[in-house]
């Protein structure tokens, strides 16, 4: 089945530093990947849609200069949280669609990255 | 706009059956998904319905009525490991997922 990995799984950083999170589709090519953020006891909030070879599409209220997204290949998208602050502490999850399959609509999720900014 | 409603929390007994309902309002519809999310983990795909009717997958079944804006997830022969949040998600006309708040299912022995 479609497998998505994320790295790192957990990161602790100091306020003001930048953190990069990688999302990889391991056994399929993904022209589109999605980045979500989830605060405790809340549902998933879509941050942006990452398109291979073009600029990401950000949701309203998400600062594109703070959350840099690069989708450089069909199997890799990265999210960089720049100048992280404690309020950016959250669970960041990526997902991808296996558009080579009949059920291309289904999003498969990476295991998530738990970010703690001190 | 879109709106999705599902119960916040439900409790059921091991071995029993539970039905988690999801109602929605949308101007564009390209399917409804159910995902399972254990605490501290990412969601895992359970089911996808785009046509009316019941889809059965082992102990889990999902039902959709587009005319009523209604779906349910049915879990049979409940096991303790089924304790999780169950997320209903609507795929809109732009093929983006709109997420419900999730239903926390508590299984008791």
Chain A contact present for B42, CB below 8 A: yes
Whether the per-residue pLDDT at B54 is higher than 90: the answer is: yes
pLDDT given for residue B10 in this prediction: 98
Helix count (H) and strand count (E) of chain A? 0, 11
B30 to chain A, closest Cα gap in Å: 9
Measuring CA to CA, which residue among B97, B4, B2 is closest to residue A33? B97
CB A111 within 8 A of CB A5: yes
B56 Cβ neighbours under 8 A, 6+ residues apart: none
Collect all residues of chain B within an 8 Å Cβ-Cβ radius of residue A93: 42-43
**Mean pLDDT value across residues A2-26:** 95
- Interchain contact, B97 vs A42, CB within 8 Å: no
**Mean pLDDT value across residues A63-74:** 92
- Interchain contact, B96 vs A105, CB within 8 Å: no
How far apart CA A49 and CA A34 sit, in angstroms, is 5
**Mean pLDDT value across residues B26-51:** 92
How far apart CA B89 and CA A2 sit, in angstroms, is 19
- Interchain contact, B43 vs A46, CB within 8 Å: no
pLDDT given for residue A46 in this prediction: 92
The chain-wide mean pLDDT, for chain A, equals 91
Question: What is the 8-class DSSP label of residue A59?
Answer: P
Measuring CA to CA, which residue among A106, A118, A97, A93 is closest to residue A21? A93
Q: Residue B84: closest CA among chain A residues belongs to which residue?
A: A41
- Interchain contact, B45 vs A106, CB within 8 Å: yes
């Amino acid at each position: 089945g479609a497998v998505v990995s994320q790295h790192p799984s957990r990161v602790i950083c100091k306020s003001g530093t930048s953190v990069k999170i990688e999302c990889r589709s391991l056994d399929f090519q993904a022209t589109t990947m999605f980045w979500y953020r989830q605060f405790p006891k809340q549902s998933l909030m879509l941050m942006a849609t990452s398109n291979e070879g073009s600029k990401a599409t950000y949701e309203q209220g998400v600062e594109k200069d703070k959350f840099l997204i690069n989708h450089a290949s069909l199997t890799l998208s990265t999210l960089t949280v720049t100048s992280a602050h404690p309020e950016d502490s959250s669970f960041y999850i990526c997902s991808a669609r296996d558009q080579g399959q009949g059920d291309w609509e289904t999003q498969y999720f990476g295991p998530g990255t738990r970010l703690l900014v001190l | 706009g879109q709106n999705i409603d599902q119960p916040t929390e439900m409790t059921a007994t091991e071995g029993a059956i539970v039905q988690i309902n999801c109602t929605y309002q949308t101007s564009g519809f390209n399917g409804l998904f159910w995902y399972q999310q254990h605490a501290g983990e990412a969601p895992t795909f359970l089911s996808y319905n785009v046509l009316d009717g019941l889809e059965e997958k082992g102990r889990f079944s999902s039902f959709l009525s587009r005319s009523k804006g209604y779906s349910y997830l049915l879990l049979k022969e409940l096991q303790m490991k089924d304790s999780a949040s169950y997320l209903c998600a609507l795929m809109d006309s732009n093929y983006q997922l709109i997420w419900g708040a999730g239903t926390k299912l508590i299984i008791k022995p």
